[in-house]
Amino acid sequence: MYYLNYLAVSLSSFSETVNSFLSNLGLEFHPEAVLGMLKHMGVGMLVIFVIIGIIILATIAIQKVFSSEKKVKTKK
């Protein structure tokens, strides 16, 4: 239990330190907003993976269409 209390105090002091540093720059730090942004970050990552998948599929399709080698089937 001591470690959890120490961790909470450490995080709050870290948050205060970051806030004081950023306030000098005219910025604000809201750690609770990170949880709200997780949905947006997840959607962004999903879009990136979908676009990479489309690029891979397009590359495979172009390779198959414009391939100069013809596969010859041999009968045994």
Q: Is residue 26 predicted with pLDDT exceeding 90?
A: no
Phi, psi of 45 (to 5 degrees): -65, -40
Q: Are 21 and 5 in contact (CB under 8 A)?
A: no
**7/20 same-domain check:** yes
**6/26 same-domain check:** yes
Arithmetic mean of pLDDT, 21-35: 77
Q: How far is CA 34 from CA 39, 42, 46, 74, in A?
A: 10, 12, 18, 61
* Domain that residue 10 falls in: 1-30
**22/43 same-domain check:** no
Q: What is the pLDDT of residue 72?
A: 63
Is 69 a domain residue?
A: no
Instruction: In whole angstroms, give the CA distance from residue 76 to residue 71.
Output: 16
Residue 60 is given by DSSP the state H
Instruction: In whole angstroms, give the CA distance from residue 26 to residue 21.
Output: 9
Q: What is the pLDDT of residue 42?
A: 92
Arithmetic mean of pLDDT, 4-22: 67
State the total domains in the chain. 2
**26/36 same-domain check:** no
